[in-house]
Amino acid sequence: MIEVKGVTKKFGRKQVLKGISFTAEKGEITCLIGINGVGKTTIMNAIMALTPINNGQILINGEEIHKGSYEKITFIPDAITMLPQMKISDAMQFMDDFYDCWNQKRADEMLGFFKLDKNERISSLSKGNTAKVNLLLGLAMDVDYVLMDEPFSGIDIFSREQIAEVFTSHLIEDRGVIITTHEINDIEHLIDKAILLNEGVVLKEFNTEEIRENEGKSVIDVMREVYQS
């Protein structure tokens, strides 16, 4: 389980996170929802300890993040971090050299799944294929938790469908996934839990099947209530 407890974060005078708390279970897909600028990416960076937090605590399987945690959790940012002149195969080799948990077999399988050519250079990839390579590099690691920042943002419908397919496949297995999005339509039926954020606070945290079962509401119904009241 990932536990985020009362996390606050200031950038200069701007309070970006104002006491965020939520949990994300292994074997579940947890979705952080909110319009741009509510602190979704900052939360991701905070979980990965890529940015120091001012207050609060973040635990992964009951422990604070340490060097060894990076073999248990990975972050897939919304833009590719590999050098543009690298081929896909170079990027894969880089990951293999850098991480013990790199799973070459799964990486090759994902190349096939996404129909990518490993000799293609990062610089010549379309937006959709860049997103797929990015996802491949993260998901080919044998980690317990995967954080994804806006994996569906700004790409074509067919790439979005293919990426959505990843969530229902064995590529996710029993891992815990945290995903951020500002568009819920594509993934409404794929997620277990939704966390609605606004201006650095959690407005509501709920299980999507439970809200449908107990209140007969769609995720969007709840978002309307929460954001427009």
| List 63, 100, 221, 225, residue binding other proteins (CB under 8 A) | 221
Which residues 107-136 are close enough to bind other proteins by CB under 8 A?
none
Nearer to other proteins, 182 or 212 (CB): 212
| List 2, 107, 167, 223, residue binding other proteins (CB under 8 A) | 167
∠ CA 77-151-139, nearest 5°, is 70
Nearer to other proteins, 74 or 208 (CB): 208
| List 21, 51, 103, 218, residue binding other proteins (CB under 8 A) | 218
Least distance (Å) between residue 189 CB and other proteins: 5
Which residues 175-214 are close enough to bind other proteins by CB under 8 A?
188-192, 209, 212-213
Nearer to other proteins, 91 or 163 (CB): 163
Q: Which residues bind other proteins (CB under 8 A)?
A: 27-29, 164-165, 167-170, 172, 188-192, 209, 212-213, 216-221
